[in-house]
Chain A
Amino acid sequence: MIPAAFDYQAPASVEEALQLLSGGGDTEIKVLAGGQSLLPVLKMRLAAPDLVVDLAKIPGLTGIREDGDRIVVGAMTTHHEVANDPLVAEHLLLLQEAAKTVADPQVRHRGTLGGALVHADPAGDLLAPVLALDAELVISGAAGRRTVPAAEFFQGLFTTAVGEDEILTEIRFPRHTGWGARYEKFTRVVQQWSVVSVAASVRMDGGAIAEAVVALTNMGSTPIRASSVEQALAGCAATAEAVGAAVAGVAEGTSPPADLNGDADYRRQLAVVLARRAVLAAAGVS
């Protein structure tokens, strides 16, 4: 597998990276942020950029920190770091659960949260948790930094709010401390893209669900927030019957893809079953 020839630059700062991205004209540029999706695409010659800009050498884009009431994850933080970080475990259990399921250990050590989000593969496992957890995505461009809510970030198949001359630098999450979480991933073999998955996190109050967030992976061209299900779950008893009833409409209005692993109808069925299981598991009921 040999990619078409391309130039390679590894800038040392965000400013330098932005300069490279804006200086292109007709030059096709791809940003390398871990490369676990980009490199196969290049090797299979599904893309042939003139220039690859590698963000790996820019200091300050990695790591996880507290910032007031927010937990901030640098865009170049690897899935492995996300999955093993104590702040993430304490405040963003859903993100941790999902990060643990990404591909295999090798990929988790190379692939990054920001790379996965900007690549925006609808079967990617981190999009739904980021959407469900109401993250804000900080994008840097020539005009400075702007912050986009997750609900506006994912715009279509492999398309996000990040412009061609911009880069995603950090992801800011409101704390979900004490929330239970489950990323219910459905695959045929362990190392496979999600056929469908459901990300759910709940705050319990007594035996009932006080608040819930639910989002779906691979049920459309972008991750989907199941807002009406979230409303139905608020105040819902944590029983199979009650949760089952609350999530019954989770697939309504979705246009899931059809492929070798299932058609749209089957994916809708999966979404309902997986949503029930995810919410119950997040609520501590298995």
Chain B
Amino acid sequence: MTTTEARPSTPEKEVGKARTRKEDQRLITGRSRYTDSISLTGMLHLAMVRSPFAHARITGIDVGAAKAADGVIAVLTGADLADTQGSLPNAWPIVPEQKAPAHPSIAVDTVNFAGEVVAAVVARTPQAARDAAELVDVDYDELAPVLDLAEAATDATVIHPDLGTNVSAHFVFDSAQAGTGGDVDAAIEQTRADGGVVVERTLRQNRLIPAFMEPRSWVCDPTGDQIVLYAATQIPHVLRVLLALTLGISESKLRIIAPDVGGGFGGKLQVNPEEVITLLAATRLGKPVKYTETRSESMVAAHHGRDQIQKLTMSATRDGKITGFKVQLLADMGAYLAVLGGGVPALGAFMFNAIYKIPAYQFDLTTVFTNKTWTDAYRGAGRPEATFGVERMLDELAAELAMEPLELRQLNWIKHEEFPFTTVSGLQYDSGNYEAATAKAKELFGYDELRAEQQRRRESGDPVQLGIGISTFTEMCGLAPSRILGALAYAAGGWEAASIRMLPTGKVEVVTGSTPHGQGHETAWSQIVADQLGVPFEDIEVLHGDTQIAPKGMDTYGSRSLVVGGQAVINAAQKVIEKAKPLAAHLLEASADDLEFAGGKFTVKGTDTSISMPELAFAAFAAHNLPDGMEPSLDSEATFDPVTFSFPHGTHLAAMEVDTETGMVKLRKYVCVDDIGNVVNPLIAEGQVHGGLAQGIAQAMFEDAVFDEQGTLVSGSFVDYLVPSAADLPHFDTAMTTTPSTTNTLGVKGVGEAGTIASTPAIVNGAIDAVRHLGVADLPMPLSPWAVWRALQGATPASGSAAAAGTGLGGNDPGGTESARMGAGGVADGRDSASDKTEGDRA
């Protein structure tokens, strides 16, 4: 105990500092350790034999030549593993009637997508394994592949005969039934009767490949009874439980280690056939076994994302008040139900209403099997699909009403003074200010100037037309309150665990159950704990990703780490302080009530007598002089279960140029203003926004998983699956507005998915806005130049080419609104007759 000069009494606050990431020194200088970097003595290597057919019966497998090849130890087929491999888990039976086919890790008698594993070769070297894999001779009887989502839903050909149907589940949220709003069909009919507008559109969510940088990899090391599995996974803890359940292994015998993991975006939130095969090969042979997929394998076998047909009906009054919104979705599951795949699109139930006050709402989801790669979470998971749908519909409604699309949004969104607000899907939004974010975005964007340029280009018939894309969004982050997950039949809870170990020398180890795979947890957690305990940032070590070091956790996805895991860390730190207080009082010979904790030390109020955390840590370690009954430890742990979600929001604006001669779409300017609540590290938050934008823009403009009529993935390499690089994207103008979340003490909301969720509709709305006056009513994703050019060829310019910019252009040119209305959206003959004209598919 001292009267301290040793450290400043109020150290600079760490939270809010734009620190460079402490993990980057290692990651960018080649000192990272990914799963594939791990090499164990005596380790064997796996190569997979994959089906070239999307749908076929296996009539025979000849492994003779492969087994006889140099260096080959074993060849495993589905028959070999039939008794041990179990069925890969489906952890989200959204309705009790949900149908899930058995999913063997190695196909036993049929294959249901091109790329499915039919055999695995174990050899002394990866080369020998690959060479021998080529020698495995599989006979197939080809079956008709079911590839078209809408057709699959009709059950013309049933993929899994034992299920009797291709429909996995039918999930409905209805605001009338839930008591959160009116009956949507009645609302739409009433709107029609009242002379309002009913807009019906069918939109398509393209299929995406997560395309994480590090291909998936596993090393399994069976040592006696103990099985150690190194895995390139986002979810070591969830994986441990699910592998134990799937394979009947005692959970206590299974240790999962996620070393450095090179990206995931949801793509490594899975229980994979390849990890089961690696584990079973290792345990059968009693040797360490490694499997690292090639990029080509990753493209076909790691789960895909999105892929929906969205039939959307929105009704509104003539002056723009939304009266009802009906959402009918078909979601492609691929060949099997992935671990969360059955539930991901259902998250849209809570998000299609977005930031808007919608009096009547229905969400009707049908999940369907096809003979394609399975689908599951991909950055945003269910929420980008919803945001895309509603934001596209707002633009369509604006066009039909000839209203300025931002004004239409403002007319319908929740006003800042209305928070907390319970939405039509039953969620309570705690905070937000859509007006502030939108005003800031408009200003940064130069909205009015761009609208004026758009008008000039239209009038001059410029071959390059300009459009302005708008997207506002909110998302439910901080997955998730366990009680709500329970109500949604999700198989687990949504809490997160943390513990803090006070080392004798005053250093601190923070153990987190939220496993990073590129996000920067080590830096952010250190900043949080530095403020909590008053110890230097550099004295904090963050431990994670090994189920023996961090035994409890729910891992990283759904923008949950900071909101849930960060709060758990704070709670653990608070417990350390609570434990330390009686010790401090004892050593300072003061009453605990007279102590205050600040800047890393306890001080007797009104004196300069104090004792620091490191001193207390050493005192607890030495244990020579503790209060009676105190255990000699300050270490603490906490498990935090959020009561509700957090709701980041933002307004995104995109200036899109469309070259009408080539169909080329170019993103010229992008502005986003996000409200993610308080910010722990602005540099990391900015990075998350940039990366998220890149992925959302990529869905809109570039990326598309395309299958041919045989079910072969045509865009199976980066030659055809176009992942944009920095050179393909403009400078992003990003800014923040802040309304702190009230659901956690940090006031944070989550930032991992924001950019992805909001940017896709902004881009597509912008491209359509550029050419709507030419008669283009919709453009498919991705906005390939060819597709855009075709749309332009098929389009008939709207009557009266005086079509004004901004669909209705209300504010910009009041005198011209009438002619603008005539042109925009084709509602040429005035208000009275418009409603029936808007019914049809005008595409």
Interface residues of A (CB under 8 A from B): 1-2, 4-5, 44-45, 186, 188-193, 195, 259-263, 266, 269-270, 273-274
In the complex, per-residue mask of B783-803: 1 if CB is within 8 Å of any chain A CB, else 0 = 011100110000000000000
Q: In the complex, how many angstroms separate the beta carbon of B400 from the nearest chain A beta carbon?
A: 31
Interface residues of B (CB under 8 A from A): 126-127, 130-131, 134, 294-296, 661-664, 702, 704, 706, 714-715, 719-720, 722-725, 727-728, 784-786, 789-790
CA distance A221 to B130 in the complex (A): 33
Partner of A1, one of B296, B664, B727: B296
CA distance A4 to B723 in the complex (A): 28
Q: What would be 11 A-B contacts, judged by CB atoms less than 8 Å apart? A: A1-B294, A2-B126, A2-B130, A188-B702, A188-B785, A189-B724, A259-B720, A266-B663, A266-B789, A273-B662, A274-B662
Say whether, besides A190-B728, A273-B661, A261 and B130 are in contact (CB < 8 Å). Answer: no
Q: In the complex, how many angstroms separate the beta carbon of B180 from the nearest chain A beta carbon?
A: 43
CA distance A45 to B662 in the complex (A): 36
Say whether, besides A1-B295, A1-B296, A192-B722, A260 and B714 are in contact (CB < 8 Å). Answer: yes
Say whether, besides A270-B662, A273-B662, A260 and B720 are in contact (CB < 8 Å). Answer: yes
User: Are B715 and A260 in touch, CB under 8 angstroms?
Assistant: yes
Q: In the complex, how many angstroms separate the beta carbon of A161 from the nearest chain B beta carbon?
A: 27
In the complex, what residue of chain A is closest to B726 when comparing beta carbons? A190
Say whether, besides A193-B719, A266-B789, A269-B789, A261 and B724 are in contact (CB < 8 Å). Answer: no
- Chain A interface, >50% SS class: loop
CA distance A46 to B785 in the complex (A): 30
B residues less than 8 Å from A2 (CB atoms): 126-127, 130
CA distance A255 to B714 in the complex (A): 22
CA distance A5 to B131 in the complex (A): 9
Report, nearest first, the 8 A-B pairs whose CB atoms are least far apart: A190-B727, A262-B786, A2-B130, A273-B661, A189-B728, A1-B294, A189-B722, A266-B786
Q: In the complex, how many angstroms separate the beta carbon of A262 from the nearest chain B beta carbon?
A: 4
CA distance A219 to B131 in the complex (A): 38
User: Are A44 and B727 in touch, CB under 8 angstroms?
Assistant: no
CA distance A44 to B724 in the complex (A): 23
A residues less than 8 Å from B661 (CB atoms): 269, 273
CA distance A263 to B131 in the complex (A): 37
A residues less than 8 Å from B789 (CB atoms): 266, 269
Partner of B784, one of A188, A190, A269, A274: A188
CA distance A262 to B664 in the complex (A): 12
Say whether, besides A260-B720, A262-B786, A189 and B702 are in contact (CB < 8 Å). Answer: yes
CA distance A261 to B663 in the complex (A): 12
A residues less than 8 Å from B664 (CB atoms): 186
B residues less than 8 Å from A193 (CB atoms): 719
Say whether, besides A44-B296, A262-B786, A263-B786, A191 and B725 are in contact (CB < 8 Å). Answer: yes
CA distance A180 to B778 in the complex (A): 41
B residues less than 8 Å from A270 (CB atoms): 662
Partner of A261, one of B294, B725, B784: B784
CA distance A195 to B727 in the complex (A): 18
CA distance A5 to B789 in the complex (A): 46
Q: In the complex, how many angstroms separate the beta carbon of A184 from the nearest chain B beta carbon?
A: 11
CA distance A260 to B716 in the complex (A): 12
Given A4-B131, A192-B719, A193-B719, 13 further pairs, Cβ under 8 A: A2-B126, A45-B134, A186-B664, A188-B722, A188-B785, A189-B702, A189-B724, A190-B728, A191-B727, A195-B785, A262-B786, A266-B663, A266-B786
Q: In the complex, how many angstroms separate the beta carbon of A260 from the nearest chain B beta carbon?
A: 6
A residues less than 8 Å from B134 (CB atoms): 4, 45
CA distance A260 to B702 in the complex (A): 11
CA distance A261 to B720 in the complex (A): 9
CA distance A193 to B719 in the complex (A): 8
CA distance A76 to B661 in the complex (A): 39
In the complex, what residue of chain A is closest to B715 when comparing beta carbons? A260
CA distance A56 to B131 in the complex (A): 28
In the complex, what residue of chain B is closest to A2 when comparing beta carbons? B130
B residues less than 8 Å from A191 (CB atoms): 725, 727
A residues less than 8 Å from B295 (CB atoms): 1
B residues less than 8 Å from A189 (CB atoms): 702, 722-725, 727-728
